[in-house]
Amino acid sequence: MARALLGDAPAFTVPAYALLLWGELPLYALLGAAAACVGFGFSLVLYWTEDRFEQLPVPGWALPAMGGLLVGLLGIWLPQLFGSGYLTTEHALHGELTLGGALILSLLKIVATSATLGSGGSGGVFAPLLFMGAAFGCAFGRAFSSLTGLTATPGPYAVVGMAAMFAAAAHAPLTAMLVVFEMTRDYGLILPLMLATVIATLISQHLGQDSIYTLKLKRHGLHLPAPAGDLLQQVTVGEVMSFDCEAVPAEWPVEKLEEMILRAHHHGFPLGDAARNLVGVLTISDLEGTLAHSNGAIATLKVGDIATSTLIVAVPDEPVPEALWRMSARGLGRLPVVSRQDQRKLLGLLRRQDIIAAYREAAVRRAHSRAFLRSQGFPGQDQARFVEWRVRPGSRADGATLAELHLLENCLLIAVYRGT
């Protein structure tokens, strides 16, 4: 199988193909866009796999064994998936992989890496991202040569794909450019590298605000420090959302919902199916549009027939400004709050009045923290930050001593609260 993955050696040397790069810039831009989708997809697959492993009813020690078994089964067919894969990456950089072999390796590396890390195994994502990017770029170059009949080597596409894939997943275009350039020392690839990595980063950030690294922190309730002026960045959706909401059955007749809106004076409701899973959202605007065009047929309509099924949701552990950005961008007055692990499980609603209350709470927190620091005579109290850290059951801090927490030297622990 390993031999079947290798193709013919490249026909051009580095100086020869350098002349072709300028005319192929649109193709490198397209490669950057494609790598962004694959890199973003890798993040989704990785953490989806992690959630699936955590839901398995088996002891924690058995999960890495199950992930290793899956990787081992893949490795029987494709041993190139084992380890860092630097040798395979080198084959891709020299354009020595076939189109089908490069494409299969790039996709199955996602599966193997997700199974390893998602099951709790040890490892990182840097080398796998380089592997995926090089293989995917080589496949892209091979496909271009097959479609156009040109004999340009796929090696440069593998180099650029490697940088674009890492930039898309890590949201770090400069790091990707410098690391790959230091590895290849090819000045002719500077412009394609810059173009592809920037495009890959922009598209990936549009698809999701978090990189593959920061998403891991966010899933554990940790958020990177925000600018000092952003009060709401330290307040999560779960702290201010409204829990007293129930999904309206989608099979209700529209007339019944009209009566409910008039009685409750709410402008929108989440909709649930027979199993009470979130399936849509209905607002007064939806109802008014239906009444204006129903031509007397409203009695036959169900709530699910006129609801908006394309959902924009929030999760409890994200900062309020991120949810507020999605609301303001689409002119929404509320967002359903769902579980990060199961986005059909309705937990509550985030309303505009909840955000106003969150801002007031954040302002009070800052005023109290500054007053406390000022009363203790701390110099530069305006630059200091007061942080309330909640120790969650099962976390690394749960049951640990202060010495075991390894707090930073410039941190001062003020108080520890237990219970109320």
Categorize the per-residue pLDDT at 394 as very low, low, confident or very high, splitting at 50, 70 and 90: confident
Choice between 8 and 101, residue whose per-residue pLDDT is larger: 101
> Do 176 and 219 touch, CB atoms closer than 8 A?
no
Question: Residue 56: phi, psi to the nearest 5?
Answer: -70, 135
Tell me the C-alpha distance between 76 and 271, whole Å: 47
Q: Which CATH number fits domain 234-355: 3.90.1640.30, 3.90.870.10, 3.40.50.2020, 3.10.580.10?
A: 3.10.580.10
CATH number of 3-219: 1.10.3080.10
3-state helix, strand, coil in the chain (%, to 5): 60, 10, 35
Q: Is the pLDDT of residue 257 over 70?
A: no
Confidence at residue 203, expressed as pLDDT on a 0 to 100 scale: 92
pLDDT tens digits for range 53-77: 888 888 888 888 898 899 889 888 8
Structure tokens at 337: 């709050």
Give pLDDT, residue 156: 84
Counting residues of the chain whose pLDDT is more than 70, the rounded percentage is: 73
Does residue 254 contact residue 303 with C-beta atoms inside 8 Å?
Answer: yes
Span 245-269, mean pLDDT? 67
The answer, yes or no, to whether residue 1 has pLDDT greater than 50, is: no
pLDDT for 353 equals: 78
- For the cut 70, the answer to whether the pLDDT of residue 45 exceeds it is yes
Helices 25-54 and 99-118 cross at an angle (nearest 10°) of: 30
Average pLDDT (33-44) is: 90
Give the per-residue pLDDT at 228. Answer: 44
- The packing angle between helices 126-148 and 86-93, to 10°, is 30
pLDDT tens-digit profile of 327-357? 777 667 778 888 877 777 888 888 877 778 7
Q: Over 50: is that where the pLDDT of 210 sits?
A: yes
As a whole number, the mean pLDDT across the chain is: 76
Asked if the model's pLDDT at residue 9 lies above 60, the reply is no
Burial class (CB in 10 A: 0-12, 13-18, 19+), 222: exposed
User: What pLDDT score does 395 carry?
Assistant: 75
CB–CB of 313/338 below 8 Å? yes
In angstroms, the Cα distances linking 43 to 125, 190, 332 are 10, 27, 28
d(CA 85, CA 414): 48
**Bridge partners for 319 per DSSP:** 236
Q: Is residue 42 over pLDDT 50?
A: yes
Q: Give the number of residues written for the chain.
A: 420
Higher pLDDT, 398 or 151: 398
Residue type, 310: T
Label residue 237 by pLDDT band (50, 70, 90).
Answer: confident
pLDDT of 279 > 80? The answer is no
Which residues, at least 6 apart from 383, have a Cβ–Cβ distance to it below 8 Å? 228
pLDDT above 70 (res 131)? yes
Q: Are 151 and 145 in contact (CB under 8 A)?
A: yes
Please give the distance of CA 395 from its chain centroid, rounded to a whole number. Answer: 22
For the segment 172-193, what is each residue's pLDDT rounded down to a tens digit? Answer: 888 888 887 777 776 777 888 8
Band (pLDDT 50/70/90 cuts) for residue 19 is very low
Return the domain boundaries, the chain. 3-219, 234-355
Q: What's the pLDDT score for residue 215? A: 80
User: How far is Cα of residue 172 from the mean position of the Cα atoms in its chain?
Assistant: 14
